[in-house]
Chains A and B, each alone.
Chain A
């Protein structure tokens, strides 16, 4: 009897929160799912939404442009997150060592993170500028380039250049998380391992990496979700060009829903993206849990 009353109290106390969560994320989600099954337009005073069933999804999946956009996004996410993880861990290892100026370097690590994405994108656009950009000047002075070139105007390099700008901004997040995790690894483990004759490489693979894997996988999941929905840096740096070689799914969804005003099919595109990121996250979760069991 008492436990029943407790349950009721608990539900009563939780109700406001549940209502808020359902209102804030549940309602928009359901509305989006509903939209994706209609031919809804962004602003159509006299047009009632027309039910189209799964037509939007069929059209999305059979569109070669959308598949291209998915490929660009996947490429962006895999490369940028991969590079961020590697650089982040390396920098964290460095900053975990005691040396002069370490505090200053650690403080400087925050700088790219603190920069708004739009400002970062504008900054890199200037760096890449084909006429007076710093990157051209630098490479030319070091003799690595014969003449100034257009970095964002060439479909072969544009996406990689956007990735570089994104990596510069976001690797510090990985580095900070890794650094925090590194400081919890007991020093005596290393001493014991050294006595047993383990080299630097072995110590990293068998002690450091497993010890920071948990926090690192959180960073991995966060960054992957972020990278998969990349929009602002693309919007500012290339607007999807040249020749649509940097058009990612989020940019595609934006165009469909807001520039062409087809909210219905825009919603179906967006939900496909959500499905992809959700399965990625599920995959990560499975891997992390499996690791915990070992």
Chain B
């Protein structure tokens, strides 16, 4: 009897040990180190997740946004990641190649209702969900209150024309050499700025038949506007090689009166440790166009998904649910606003950043999408080159956009 018990115990013990060893799972997660949540935020959230879920370990890897897409795609053959952060423009392509797990059945009705509609478009393609929205973001107009006051303006511009005239007044008074700064390098960042202006000027990327239409109407006016501000010396000419962090640096060092950037810049530009203009930073929805729009915005949201090749899908989903939960998002709401509707009336989220939350309420409601197409990456790089050609003066805006429209039509 005794021996039997000992044996039983031994067998049980072996099982328990191997069971524990089995429960030790390591997730590989891929994020970006650019705008939105900072590396510290992501690591802290992950630590919280780990202590709440013993036995699950998470390796966090951060790459620049420019490397994110290719990294996700290439890791597919190497079976690399269990959780990936991805941009709103990729689900069409990812769905076509079955890169991401379809999680439609995992999302319950309360979650569907609780999260902003605009955020859901980030992860939705053809009626299926390929992850959870995590970052709800768009481009805002940041302004230096002190400079505006010196030039005699009490309020930020409401229209793109007014932005131009305020910038001109600021330049003429010698307050700053180049009042405007943007992220117009040959990159997706430039497409986001262009889309923002295009949407505010009533433009369309694609017409009702899905053919390129950005070379007419608001799309053409947007690029002409961009080129004009460079030619008139209002836009910092180096904008043509800037990414988001360059824009933040220039604006935070007091070398610009206005900047278009993601929401994360609000609290950083107001932080004395990061900025020389702390306390003077205002934020407003990007302006609109008289008679057409009251504000402009681009959908710059991002989501978290599970690659189809992941071997730890359950744990990965747990981790995603944790990161996208309202509790965690409300706790880390300084650099990236939550995707949950209720968060926007949570005093803990609003406190200390009322102007940011106010601007977001307006902007997030009017976010314009970039076109949904499987060959988005290629179409985008064609358009990036066209924008550069026009901004560098090697082509007129009309010629550049007509050429891009033709090339994108061929890709489709």
Residues of A whose CB lies within 8 Å of any CB of B are: 41-46, 130-131, 150, 152-155, 239-244, 255, 258-261
Contacts and interface: CB of A to CB of B under 8 A. Distances in A.
B172 interface: no
Given A44-B97, A242-B241, A243-B186, A155 B394 contact: yes
B99 A43 contact: yes
A240 B186 contact: yes
B385 interface: yes
24 contacts: A42-B73, A44-B97, A46-B98, A130-B238, A150-B240, A150-B241, A152-B241, A153-B185, A153-B237, A153-B241, A239-B66, A241-B186, A241-B187, A241-B241, A242-B241, A242-B392, A243-B388, A243-B389, A244-B385, A244-B388, A255-B381, A258-B74, A259-B69, A260-B378
A130 B375 CA distance: 34
Contacts of A154: 392
Nearest to A148: B238
Interface string B234-261: 0001101100000001100001000000
B201 to A, nearest CB: 23
B240 A244 contact: no
Chain B interface residue number, banded: 20 to 34
A188 B131 CA distance: 77
Nearest to A158: B241
Contact of A241 (B185, B238, B377, B394): B185
B345 interface: no
B240 A153 contact: yes
B186 A242 contact: yes
Tell me if B's interface is mostly helix, strand, loop or mixed.
Answer: helix
B139 to A, nearest CB: 20
Given A42-B74, A241-B388, 13 more contacts: A42-B73, A45-B97, A46-B98, A241-B185, A241-B241, A241-B384, A242-B186, A244-B388, A259-B378, A259-B381, A260-B377, A260-B378, A261-B97
Nearest to B407: A65
A259 B97 CA distance: 13
A42 B241 CA distance: 30
B238 A259 contact: no
B154 interface: no
Contact of B241 (A41, A44, A130): A130
Nearest to B246: A131
Contacts of B375: 260
Nearest to A244: B385
A153 B238 contact: yes
A259 B249 CA distance: 29
A278 to B, nearest CB: 27
Nearest to B374: A261
Contacts of B385: 243-244
Contacts of A131: 238, 249-250, 255
A218 to B, nearest CB: 35
A43 B69 CA distance: 13
A155 B238 contact: no
Contacts, number: 72
B77 interface: yes
A255 B382 CA distance: 12
Contacts of A42: 73-74, 77
A155 B186 CA distance: 12
Nearest to B385: A244
Contacts of A155: 392, 394
Contact of A45 (B98, B249, B381, B388): B98
B362 interface: no
Contacts of A244: 186, 385, 388
B377 A259 contact: yes
A89 B362 CA distance: 65
Contacts of A130: 238, 241
Contacts of A43: 73, 76-77, 97, 99
Nearest to A45: B98
B70 interface: yes
A241 B73 CA distance: 23
